[in-house]
Structure 1
């Protein structure tokens, strides 16, 4: 069945939908949580503030942490900070404090700092902020830092944090500015989505560090990217999928409209011919993600905030994503689920094109699409055994038609969770698909900007996963510890939730803020005498 075309959002109708409670009463109810955890529970939760063993606070005169990235590898947590990388053991799970066992200090050299200052940057920006933190293999960490707006990458021993080999350039692998969003993953080679220049004009999806050619997206082409904000990347099948939001070129007759996208590239792409797409992706395609409340006029949540990895629900590969409304709209957040097989199906559908700069975007007639299908993965045994052998007609079509016509529908064609009455915008999501006494329940944790966690039990239809039953708002609890995580009279930015990760082994959530990481249990059963039964 073909997914209905997603029209652009209409603000007046959206406002009316909210005021009226949605078309025909379809807009979801928002009951309060079944329980709210008392704030004094927070004082019992382990926290990391940059301390070593036996010391509850950092040494006198030490700076506050400025955490950028966290990576959990089994029972070890790696924390990428400003000028430092920490190795923290998560055992025993009952410990009352989190300390680092190893610390790597990686500062920018004076010449890089001087050049950074000469280019007009502030002293606090001309530091080395760890923006890429990946497991390269079972013994090696791959780390990139902004390095005073001259990004660098290096390999380190996972056990000792000792350097392995020389530094390499971080260009197209790591942003120059620590405030810029970027994503990265290893799958045989390094796949990154970031900006390649000091002014952050050239956004790129880039592949490097392996046995295949280095590839990138087409430069300065608004059909490929228009001011993207990269959110997440996952590996699934023969592709890498990138989730991001950007300005929608197909709605160019409106004000700037932000939409959420998923793009994909073939892992085995080797680039185009010397004439077309040389050293560039031949398989890059992108599609819109539709997270909306159905009705006579859909209510859209357009701004993607976070995406989970691929999890198995009812035997289907699912990602959950949290979306919000634009900042100048009525505040609201929603969680939508997407089946990766449906995502892949959209990339086998119709392409969309704009015949002239003044015309609207329309589907490409099927008889005008060359064969083999543009964007497919070349492989030995096929008509073309490598992407570099594709005819120029196919390569030119891919270059000028990266956008798919259909949007990817959310499972059930509606959000699983909607919140429009929340005090803070919801920006982080974690999911436990093996919750409950028998490991057969699905619990979703949503984190607000300020560290408040909303815990939901959801009932996807296990037979088809086509619809979601009602979700139950189980609990609301805090994770931010003002006594440990912020300066006196701390700022809003210091309380911003950077990441939220489920740590099943300890029955906890790892909540990272700029100045600390807090481990919070997923349940506070001591509140309820019969809970454990």
Structure 2
């Protein structure tokens, strides 16, 4: 390796971001003038996070990526190279740049990186974060384009890659350097058919092997289907392929070609609906205690590009091995008709690695394999048996969400069980945290990472730093693996079922930070035990409203999985029909044209896991008759008149003082501000999801066309005073712009029943009354937004606006479909 003088090293200062909101506490960010942070390498020992972007490579502090400065190597294509790229017909805004596609450790002193370099790939070595060699040819190591499917591994200073390397070339799996270089076969049977690679993994199956087995490299991709039969009707299918690390090719047959290449189909489907997810988007490899315990977690999508849906399936290494030990498929008539091969299989078995059994027969390397075995491998790369998920169905099926990348962490709960916690990024910049429980995924939280939607393009975990790193087009985000402080009560902490968190009697704490865990409360399996003796500080508040007014008692649920339950004087409210005088939604209880017999103590409970938990302070109010109202109005007018008289006297006195002697100065601002105006236009306070107080709102029917209501309302700093008359001005609620809905999507299978993100009525009706928490249609325990101002979805109306429509029209509400995502 030729090590030259340092080339083009500078230092980049990190760009500070605005203050983080409560939902993103503990978040750190790194940004620079570069874009496309698609490649990341985490080295726990050196506490360094290396990030490859467009035209630059960065070295960040893994414990805090937002530290004062970050080292960078600028590596951009020259103007001449960009011009040549433009002449080739490529995009001058996206493609004619040097996108870093490969960045891994070469040895103990050097890193190795490759970039597209304006459609002329180059690679180079890095030593002490300095480009230590002149760039070398990277055509066989790196794809030409920034979006071409690509995966690569550096194993024992040998580079294994898989991609479509040139514009019109076939996809290929290669070992590039040092020799011998190997690749896949394309004739007479093409081993890869328009393959789009998403990942690869080394599994050292030689460790502890009793047969002298070799290590394997597994590749994951989606390709055009070769099984054009009545059984396989899909145009593209998900695959797993395998090669042996010690493969050296054949001597004459399959010379410089893999002799161990085999591939099989990965299935991820809902069998009861015959519904298949065929597009593999991402794969995460979870090592086990032994190589045989290795698990593969995959994100699958649909072939339809205009339909958003995702499924998460996991596969075991033993299932993959069984598929490669099963029957082969055979291509007949050199066409697309494939069927299971039933003829004689040569010995040794084609596609296997060199083992002690073969060595005993004098076959020590693949170049010693017989020609009949190699010819069979050339014509039979596809296996007949499909690789089924470990759970025989998806861990999670979710509509309206496209997951892009995933990482998995293992943690031991207080019950002694081992739990897999998944972190999944979406195409719109959300991070979903979920825990696998008995073959199902329970989504713990959904976190919005950015103000504007940006796709997650990379995801890494660090158990040492207790952090998750998210790469996106304009930067990198670092988040803690858990934020237990978000759960403010025992039930919040236990219901979340986060293996990282437990209740210590006073607050929700991180389990890993506690030396004494004997008193901690945690229930991941059921999410319901341990808080039975919790006491609540309940304080009832009284309000008075007029007979005939429409009253909204708000009840904001902190959990997306909870349903509201209302009681009146301790008895559950029964019936919410159109004639009952009550309407309920996830935001609260609407009392329509309040009557005297509806006075009393109203309490809202959150029902989850068959447990009732009071959500807010109980609310008691009593109704006033018109006669009482007249007396109150007269009293108010008398009080206001007296205030006006006092104010007049003060003004006369001040004027007199100013005229006599001018012995001092007196500010009228204080006097004027000390008294409320006789007429005041009140706007509704915005109700945030984290508000600790329940608001009572009345929607008055005594309003004119301009939205000005008769009557007087007294407020102080936005808080409603005791005994005040509350009014909501119709039409002043925050409304969302009207947007045209997308065309109808192909039908998706129904999802199992669980609490609806829309509001459900006990009588089976659903009304368009979404809450702030549920408007994103999440089935997570808690959903946190990046910006508090984004309280409405462009496709949803606010609850208050919808209630006003109900009050104006007095018509049946629109029916909405059942929830469109769930854990399966």
Common topology (TM > 0.5)? yes
Aligned-residue offset at 1:506? 2.9
Aligned-residue offset at 1:181? 1.7
Secondary structure in 1 matching 2:83: helix
C-alpha RMSD of the superposition: 2.4
Map of 1:389 onto structure 2? 368
Rounded Cα–Cα distance in structure 1 between residues aligned with 2:67 and 2:379: 52
Secondary structure in 1 matching 2:508: coil
Map of 1:522 onto structure 2? 481
Map of 2:197 onto structure 1? 230
Rounded Cα–Cα distance in structure 1 between residues aligned with 2:177 and 2:195: 24
Superposed, 1:4-403 pairs within 5 Å as 40-42=22-24, 45-50=27-32, 63-74=33-44, 75-91=47-63, 93=64, 97-98=66-67, 100-124=69-93, 125-157=95-127, 160-188=128-156, 189-197=158-166, 199-210=167-178, 212-219=179-186, 223-236=190-203, 237=205, 238-251=215-228, 257-274=235-252, 276-295=253-272, 297-312=273-288, 316-328=293-305, 330-357=307-334, 360-365=337-342, 367-378=343-354, 380-403=359-382
Aligned residue-pair number: 453
Aligned-residue offset at 1:101? 3.0
Aligned-residue offset at 1:329? 7.1
Rounded Cα–Cα distance in structure 2 between residues aligned with 1:272 and 1:527: 60
Normalising to structure 2: TM-score of the pair? 0.52
Distance 1:330 1:148, change over 3 A: closer
Rounded Cα–Cα distance in structure 1 between residues aligned with 2:196 and 2:335: 26
Rounded Cα–Cα distance in structure 1 between residues aligned with 2:412 and 2:455: 27
Query: Greater Rg, structure 1 or structure 2?
Result: 2
Distance 1:378 1:313, change over 3 A: closer
Secondary structure in 2 matching 1:265: strand
The CA deviation string for residues 86-128 of structure 1, in whole angstroms up to 9 with x for no partner, is 000122x5x7x24553211112234433322221223332221
Secondary structure in 2 matching 1:251: coil
Aligned-residue offset at 1:167? 2.6
Rounded Cα–Cα distance in structure 1 between residues aligned with 2:293 and 2:226: 32
Rounded Cα–Cα distance in structure 1 between residues aligned with 2:191 and 2:199: 17
Deviating more after overlay: 519-528 vs 325-334? 325-334
Aligned-residue offset at 1:186? 1.4
Distance 1:82 1:328, change over 3 A: closer
Aligned-residue offset at 1:182? 0.6
The CA deviation string for residues 24-53 of structure 1, in whole angstroms up to 9 with x for no partner, is xxxxxxxxxxxxxx9642375210002xxx
Aligned-residue offset at 1:435? 5.3
Rounded Cα–Cα distance in structure 1 between residues aligned with 2:75 and 2:284: 30
Aligned-residue offset at 1:313? 7.7
1:234·1:309 contact (CA, 8 Å) conserved in 2?
A: yes
Rounded Cα–Cα distance in structure 1 between residues aligned with 2:101 and 2:88: 21
Distance 1:414 1:507, change over 3 A: same
Distance 1:99 1:221, change over 3 A: farther
Higher strand share: 1
Map of 1:472 onto structure 2? 442
Normalising to structure 1: TM-score of the pair? 0.79
Confirm whether residue 434 of structure 1 aligns to residue 426 of structure 2.
no
The CA deviation string for residues 454-501 of structure 1, in whole angstroms up to 9 with x for no partner, is 2222125xxxxxxx2x43222111122x3xxxxxxx6x5xx1110122
2:170·2:194 contact (CA, 8 Å) conserved in 1?
A: no
Secondary structure in 2 matching 1:107: coil
The CA deviation string for residues 234-256 of structure 1, in whole angstroms up to 9 with x for no partner, is 01121100011111111267776
Aligned-residue offset at 1:222? 6.4
1:172·1:204 contact (CA, 8 Å) conserved in 2?
A: no
Aligned-residue offset at 1:309? 2.0
Rounded Cα–Cα distance in structure 1 between residues aligned with 2:21 and 2:225: 42
1:242·1:264 contact (CA, 8 Å) conserved in 2?
A: yes
1:140·1:156 contact (CA, 8 Å) conserved in 2?
A: yes
1:265·1:285 contact (CA, 8 Å) conserved in 2?
A: yes
The CA deviation string for residues 274-301 of structure 1, in whole angstroms up to 9 with x for no partner, is 2x21111111110001112222x53211
**Unmatched runs of 5 consecutive residues or more in structure 1:** 1-37, 51-62, 461-467, 483-489
Secondary structure in 2 matching 1:471: strand
Rounded Cα–Cα distance in structure 1 between residues aligned with 2:274 and 2:251: 43
Higher RCO by CA contacts (8 Å cutoff, separation 6 or greater): 1
Rounded Cα–Cα distance in structure 2 between residues aligned with 1:70 and 1:374: 37
Secondary structure in 2 matching 1:112: helix
The CA deviation string for residues 126-159 of structure 1, in whole angstroms up to 9 with x for no partner, is 22110111111222211000011110111111xx
1:323·1:335 contact (CA, 8 Å) conserved in 2?
A: yes
The CA deviation string for residues 389-422 of structure 1, in whole angstroms up to 9 with x for no partner, is 22221111111110000011110211122212xx
Distance 1:528 1:310, change over 3 A: closer
